Amino acid sequence: MDADTAKKAWDILEEEFEGNEQVHSVKLHYLRREFETIKMKESETIEEYYGRIKEIVNKMKLYGKEIKEKRVVEKILITLTEKYDSIVASIETSSDPSSLSVNKLIGLLGAHEARLNSCVDRNLVENAFQSKLKLQSRNKEDGEKKNAGEYSRNKDSRNFSRNKKDKYVPFMWYLQ
């Protein structure tokens, strides 16, 4: 690959690293499909999910395909997990989602996520406290049952040995 001029060298490098129109078209098609099929994962935060969407949108922009902000807002609202259903319904009924900016939407969803997480944290602490109380109560009951059981076992064993003595007394003379 000889390049006589800087322009030819640049064109060669550009085609080598970016590809020709057909390669651009294939990459853009792949990115469109990725954008259409993306969904939020259960373990993902809003920021992480929006980061994945933004990365795809930016790559599409590099290949000449502009995605409107309205489309990104719709995509986010449609593909959130079930735990965001209440805030999505609220957004859809209180305002026109298409007039909402992506940054404002992410802010609203982030605030909702923070509330959900604080509720989960409070519930975890409350459940842990209740579990500890139940465990202490159960241990106390088990201790009382154990003490009562030892008494009855001792009483039974005394009766058993007495019965055993009485039962085997005739054979004792033979062993002596």
**155 has pLDDT over 60:** no
Domain regions of the chain by residue span: 38-134
* Separation between Cα atoms, residue 160 and residue 156, nearest integer Å: 6
CB–CB of 60/23 below 8 Å? no
Q: What is the pTM of this model?
A: 0.60
| Orientation angle between helical segments 102-175 and 46-62, nearest 10 degrees | 130
Question: What is the signed CA dihedral for 122, 127, 128, 131, rounded to 10 degrees?
Answer: 170
Q: How confident is the model at residue 149 (pLDDT cuts 50, 70, 90)?
A: low
Q: Which residue has the tokens 């842990």?
A: 128
Is residue 70 over pLDDT 50?
Answer: yes
